[in-house]
Amino acid sequence: MSSDPVFPVLRHGDYFTKPSIDELVEREAADPGYCSRVPDFVVGRVGYGRIHFPGDTDVRGMDLNGIVKFGRHSVEVYKDEASKPPLGQGLNKPAEVTLMLNLSVLPEPSALGELLKCQTRKQGARFVSFNHSSGRWKFEVDHFSRFGLVDEEEEDVVMDEVVVRQPIAEVRDPPANGHELELSRSLPAHLGLDPAKMHEMRMTMFSNEEGDEDMEDGFPSDQRYFSSEKMNVDSPNSSAKGLRLRSLSPLHGSSLKVSRRPGVIGRREPQALLEYSVNSSEHGPSSHGILMSGQNKGFPVRMTKVDGFKLPSDQETPVAGNVYSNCVVDAALFMGRSFRVGWGPNGILVHSGSLVNRPGTGLSSVIHIEKVAGDKVVRDEKNKIKEELTDLCFSDPLDLHRRLHHEYLETESDLFKLKLQKVVASRFVLPDICRSYIDIIERQLEVSDLSMSSRVLLMHQVTVWELIRVLFSERATGNQLEPTGDEDQEGMILDKKEGTVAIDLEALPLVRRADFSNWLQDSVCHRVQGEAGSLNDARYLEHIILLLTGRQLDTATEVAAFRGDVRLAILLSQAGGSMLNRSDLSQQLDLWKTNGLDFDYIQEDRLKIYELLSGNVQGALVDSSIDWKRYLGLIMWYQLSPDASLDIIIHSYHQLLGEGKVPYPVPVYIDEGPLDESLQWSPGDRFDISFYLMLLHANQDEKFGMLKTMFSAFSSSYDPLDYHMIWHQCSILEAIGAFSSNDLHVLDLSFVYQLLCLGKCHWAIYVILHMPHLDDAPYIHEKLIREILSQYCESWSKDETQRVYIAELGIPVEWMHDALALYNEYYGDQQSALENYILCGNWKKAHTIFMTSIAHSLFLSSKHQEIWDITSSLEVHKSEIADWELSAGIYIDFFILRNSMQEKSTMDDPDQLEKKNESCSTFFGRLNDSLIVWGSKLPVEARACFSKMAEELCELLMNSPGEGLTPDLYMGCFQTMLNAPVPDDHRSSYLQEAVSVFTDILCRD
Amino acid sequence: MSSNKIELDHKDMVHDSAIDYYGKSLATASSDSTVQISSIGGASAPSQLLATLSGHYGPVWRVAWAHPKFGSILASCGYDGRVVVWKEGAAGQWSQAHVFDNHKSSLNSIAWAPYELGLCLACGSSDGSISVMTMRPDGGWDSTTIEQAHPVGVMAVSWAPATALGSIVGSGELVQKLVSGGFDCVVKVWAFVNGSWKLDSVLPSDMHTDCVRDVSWAPVLGLAKFTIASASEDGKVVIWTKGKEGDKWEGKVMHDFEAPAWRVSWSLTGNILSVAAGSGDITLWKEASDGQWEKVTKVEP
């Protein structure tokens, strides 16, 4: 008997064949060679299905369990591509497949039949029948691979490539229990690296992950690769997958994705044959087909087969050679731990690591696309973008900013000029400006669905603008009085006027102080009311203290009077007034202490009130927690004298702050909450912008050292990328001369970034034009603007409003067309690229595109007028274009020459013909030279174009009247035509014509 | 953007991903020896695999898109010591425009020069040298080499912005400088002077105590200083700044991740720095005030 195996192997009990293995043995003994031609061979699995192979089948030596895999509702044959025989051999041949469907997990049986028909057809099989009661589904297949290289299958192959080339993008989140497995790579043996040593090296380098089981998978040896431990590791995955498959409801439209591991492709579980969906419109081309081999899934057949990490034998490697033994392979790269984040426009991130804010999921071959949120401010509480918020947060404030009075500074660089802008405003118009900004903010507050934290911030912005008005605005002084009457009356009026002016000037600081006091009361009013609401009537003294912290003296007095506490009411009505009164009260308290008065008989709250009214703020509030604004107010109202100036008040608070005796002026989103996200914040990070404004005012004309901190986003917003309001505040304050700075580029650029993320390129450019001019970087504005125009070309060019606005800003139109031209050329729109290059004055580029992409197609389409228009506009600048005479100039001269030949065709003049001949000869020479100069840059159509030119001219030349011409001239014309770049068949016809004419000439003699 | 994930057809680790200039195409480099190019889909169109480029004989470490001024050009480098410059022809067909194989060791980093300098590519290799290849107008390529830039190996290279600060004698003067980091724990700046590359400055070497994994020169779009970020195996990311020409570089530790910091990359406007560190964690950082950097955790849902 031959040593070759004869009988197939069947290792699993639930698989069966017909004839059975035993019967095959018997028949082979009775009839040698029977196994090479088994008629009507059947292989199947109990309860799952069967495959019937009509005709004779060669089953010798087959490992049937390795070849055929029945899964629930699916079957796969020859999953391993390497072991699949050619078409028609082994089991890779026509067959009839029967699958037993489990009807209990499938949709309505009546509809199932149609689904199965569609599914069968889509996967290249032929539907035979479906039994609704038994669930038996029959279909026929021609082979068990979709990529057989047979001519009749070519169309199918192409279609399948299109289908399988589209990876399915996962919309849903990955399942909670499934984590993406870290990919591992097999270590190529021919590198000569010792896997054990490599593993040790790796454990040494990354010792913190010594116990990680996944790490060990990084370096499996060939033996370990197929060890039983490996199989055991796979088992839970298989079970988990089975569970997931069973738990899928019929409404699920797609199967779950599991990251593929190259080494375990051979053991991949069969995919579900059907994607059960009641809604047929959800049916898309499936990337997993019936009976497809696993190896081929997802790859077109013509794709170069990549076996992984292999180097050809002739390729030198750093490890194999001795010369480069000192080179160290980058361990992180080699072991696959290093990866990089790629940035795109609009703040888009691409990377293969963990999601931002979700660390620890490790690396994979899944690419994540995330976007840095610069537009948090335009989203409502459901995190959806509101278009009206975009207008109210960005467009309206910038429109307002634009309408303010501007100073312009022209910068000139190369050929272009830019008009840098700067807002200038007097302090007299500041109230109107602040009022306008407040109006915009109040309109934002009317938008529905705003989150609570957004409302808090918006309310705060209103108070900030009010504070700017209070601290920095000035009011007009002195009313003009009309002098009337006699001399005496006039003198009297002048005296009055002078007195008014003097009084106003002296009173201005006091007026500002009063305004500030009112502002402070208004800004803390809501907190006083909020806390007062929780007090009951029995604690009226506590209530009075609360009212005093908000300087609501009238209300406090009423409360006391209502309670019949007349003497307290009298004291309260004079609170914060005369320093003498405070001194008296303080002396009284000291007297009580000196005389040993037992304070147990006076309520503690009453004592606090007395302390406060005496000016001892610290003494009154030693055990109270109070916000910083009210504490500032308490110092202002009860401790310092009524005529203390604002800067004294603010400096006093700042000094006490340094000593740690007063509350820290925290930003409003920390102070008042609530927050949508948790923040990492610690005291000392920064102040609220209100406090910065106060410090700025108190600083007077000295240099302010906290500008950068003041204008970082965190001063007014918990969103570190939100600069939409603070930029305006900075701009207005600088406009009125509150400060002057050349060092706030971070603020400007961050706002530009935010605007670009929203696609507002025109506003971004507007902000750039407000950046100050720097001698160190004079070209920064041009650089920035051109970069934005170029990179965000698609965004602004499709928005007519933005285009118009950018032009109105004085941005050179050439820059816009330059960006458009580059964009069009990159995406293959040569026609538009040409137009834009012409408009931006890039004549060389326009000319090149015209010659290589445009001219010939226009000519062959007989659009001569367009050619003429383009070449005429280019001709004006031909001195800047190389080889004009051999390039676009050819088209101009062609039209001129052709017209002249047509015009004079009726004249019977030998001299004219001679001139035509010379012109044509010169022109044909240029055509030939042009073809040489442009070489391979010219497409075939361009050569056809030149050929057509030559043909037309030859035609005109041949049709010229030839009566009375000398033979030399006649033959000269033909000589010219033979030099034309025309096809050979035309040239041969010219030659025949020449011979004919020559023969006539000979016969005539 | 309805989809925030792209299932690539790579069969192994993805080491680098790059978006083209206009933000429409994505190139990925993988250990399966291929570079894949996909379209970045929007809400209405899913991402599609456009091309799979096979030309490397080992893991591909980096991909880099050239400026669209030169057409659709992509460069890739890998373990096999080769740099392949790919060019997209008609109908989305990619071909190898050029292949550099002068290096005998793994090529760990490539970076295109600013487009003002022409089509120019810098490559850092494990053999310790840096090559700079420049395409000539006739289509050929010139190559200059910085030998032994980092004795044990070059890990990363990055170009300085082309527009200069400070010493401008005319509007046409361009900056031609590189920053590199390597296994010797040092960050170095190189300048192209009189036709050859010279060491411009060695940044203070005590900032990093382990090999430098990546360096990235921030685009100077409005900020009046040069800025470089470097990431190291010791877990530190350092921000180097220099004001005018002639000033000295100053380094400041931005953050210590206490795990290897693999890569740093700047946003296009240079106001946000992304750091890949540890086992795949990504954080974003922005400069809050003078010299202080804060973490940005807001990513669009």
Who has greater pLDDT, A171 or A578?
A578
Nearest to A959 by CA among A899, A885, A901, A900: A901
Q: CA of A186 to nearest chain B CA: how many angstroms apart? A: 10
Tokens at residue A101, please? 């469907």
Which residues of chain A neighbour B282 with C-beta distances below 8 Å? Answer: 341, 349, 351, 353-356
- Give the chain B residue nearest A366 (alpha carbons): B7
> Residue A208: closest CA among chain B residues belongs to which residue?
B259
Which of A351, A776, A783 has its CB closest to that of B276?
A351
Q: What are phi and psi of B275, to 5 degrees?
A: -125, 130
Q: Does any domain span residue B128?
A: no
Give the separation between CA A186 and CA A223, rounded to whole angstroms: 12
Most B CBs within 10 A among A219, A304, A341, hence the mutation to make, goes to A341
Q: Last residue of some domain: A635, A653, A671? A: A653
Q: What is the pLDDT of residue A750?
A: 83
pLDDT above 90 coverage of chain B, percent: 8
Residue at a domain's end among A584, A618, A653: A653
Is there a cis peptide before residue A109, judged by omega within 30 degrees of 0? no
Q: Which residues of B touch A721 (CB under 8 A)?
A: 286, 296, 298
Residue A363: name the closest of B175, B94, B30 by CA. B30
Intra-chain end-to-end CA distance of chain B, in Å: 10
Q: pLDDT digits over A732-782, tens only? A: 888 888 887 766 767 888 888 788 887 888 889 998 888 887 666 676 787
H or E element that contains A200: helix A195-205
Which range has the worst mean pLDDT, A100-104, A263-267, A661-665? A263-267
Q: What is the DSSP letter of A379?
A: B
* Residue B220 within a domain: yes
- 3 state SS for A772-817: CCCCCCCCHHHHHHHHHHHHCHHHHHCCHHHHHHHHHCCCCHHHHH
* A176 against B74, higher pLDDT: B74
Across the interface, do B267 and A308 touch by the CB < 8 Å criterion? Answer: no
Q: Give me the number of domains chain B comprises.
A: 1
- pLDDT of amino acid B85: 92
Which chain A residue shows the shortest CA-CA distance from B57? A311
Amino acid at B146: I
Which residues, other chains included, contact A943 with Cβ-Cβ below 8 Å and sequence gap of 6+? A931, A981
Give the Cα separation of A609 and A606 in Å (integer): 5
Q: Which residue has the higher pLDDT, A913 or B5?
A: A913
Q: Which chain B residues are Cβ-neighbours of A171 within 8 angstroms?
A: 2-3
**Mean pLDDT computed over A73-78:** 74
B28 → chain A, closest CA residue: A367
Whole-angstrom distance, CA of residue A291 vs CA of residue B85: 39
Which residue among B183, B281, B284 places its CB closest to the CB of A353? Answer: B281
Domains in chain A, number? 4
Residue with tokens 């106003």: A504
Paired with A29 in beta bridges are: none
d(CA A513, CA A510) in angstroms, rounded, equals 5
**Does residue B111 have a pLDDT over 90?**
yes
A894 lies in which domain range? 879-1002
A423 versus B114: which is more confidently predicted? B114
- In B, minimum Cα distance to A821 occurs at B69
pLDDT tens readout for residues A145-159 = 432 222 333 333 333
Distance between CA A753 and CA A449 in Å, rounded?
26
Side chain identity at B208, as an amino acid letter?
A: H
Q: Which domain holds residue B235?
A: 207-300
In a domain, residue A976? The reply is yes
Q: Can you tell me the distance from the alpha carbon of A823 to that of A95, in angstroms, rounded to the nearest whole number?
A: 54
Q: What is the pLDDT of residues B12-26, one digit of tens each?
A: 777 888 888 888 888
Is position A226 within any domain? no
CA distance A347 to chain B (A): 7
What is the Cα A483 distance to its own chain's centre? Answer: 69
Is A329 within 8 Å of B31 when comparing Cβ atoms?
Answer: no
Query: Could you give the 3-state DSSP secondary structure of residue A76?
Result: strand
Output the DSSP codes for A639-669.
IS-TT--HHHHHHHHHHHHHTT-S-----HH
Residue A203 inside a domain? The answer is no
Q: Which one of A171, A309, A359 has the shortest CB-CB distance to B2?
A: A171
The reply to whether B248 falls in a domain is yes
Indicate the SS3 state at residue A140.
Answer: strand
Residue B76 has pLDDT above 90, yes or no: yes
- Distance of alpha carbon B119 from its chain centroid, rounded? 15
| pLDDT averaged over every residue in chain A | 69
DSSP-derived secondary structure letter, A227: S
Q: Note whether A271 and A105 are within 8 A (CB).
A: no
* Integer angstrom CA distances of residue B151 from A108, A847, B125, B137, B183: 71, 49, 11, 34, 8
Q: Is the bond leading into A19 cis (omega within 30 degrees of zero)?
A: yes
Q: What is the DSSP letter of A405?
A: -
Asked, for residue B121, whether it belongs to a domain, the answer is: no
DSSP letter assigned to residue B227: E
CATH number reported for the structural domain that contains residue A127 in this entry: 3.30.1610.10
Q: Is residue B278 part of a domain?
A: yes
Secondary structure (DSSP) of B87-111: EE-GGG-EEEEEEE---SS-EEEEE
Question: Could you tell me the pLDDT band of residue A910, with boundaries at 50, 70 and 90?
Answer: low
User: Of B17, B37, B147, which to mutate for an interface test with A (greatest number of A Cβ within 10 Å)?
Assistant: B17
Residue B132: beta bridge partners?
Answer: B122, B144
Cβ contact B278–A359 (<8 Å) = yes
Q: Judging by DSSP bridges, how do beta strands B130-135 and B25-30 pair with one another?
A: unpaired
Q: How far is A779 from chain B (nearest CA, A)?
A: 8
Average pLDDT over residues A527-532: 78
Name the 3-class secondary structure at B118: coil
Sign for the pseudo-dihedral over CA of A542, A545, A551, A555: positive
Residue A508: pLDDT band (50, 70, 90) is confident
The whole-number average pLDDT for the span A299-327 is 40
Query: End of a domain among A106, A130, A148?
Result: A148
Which residue has better confidence, A338 or A712?
A712
DSSP state of A859: H
Residue B22 resides in a domain: no
CA B34 to chain centre: 19
**What are the φ and ψ backbone dihedral angles of A356, each rounded to 5 degrees?**
-60, 135
Q: Which residues pair with B124 in a beta bridge?
A: B109, B130
Poorest-pLDDT segment among A44-58, A835-849, B66-80, B210-224 = B210-224
State how far the Cα of A587 lies from the Cα of A581, in Å rounded to an integer. 10
CA-based nearest distance B178→chain A, Å: 19
Domain assignment present for A554 = yes
Beta-bridge partner residues of B192: B197
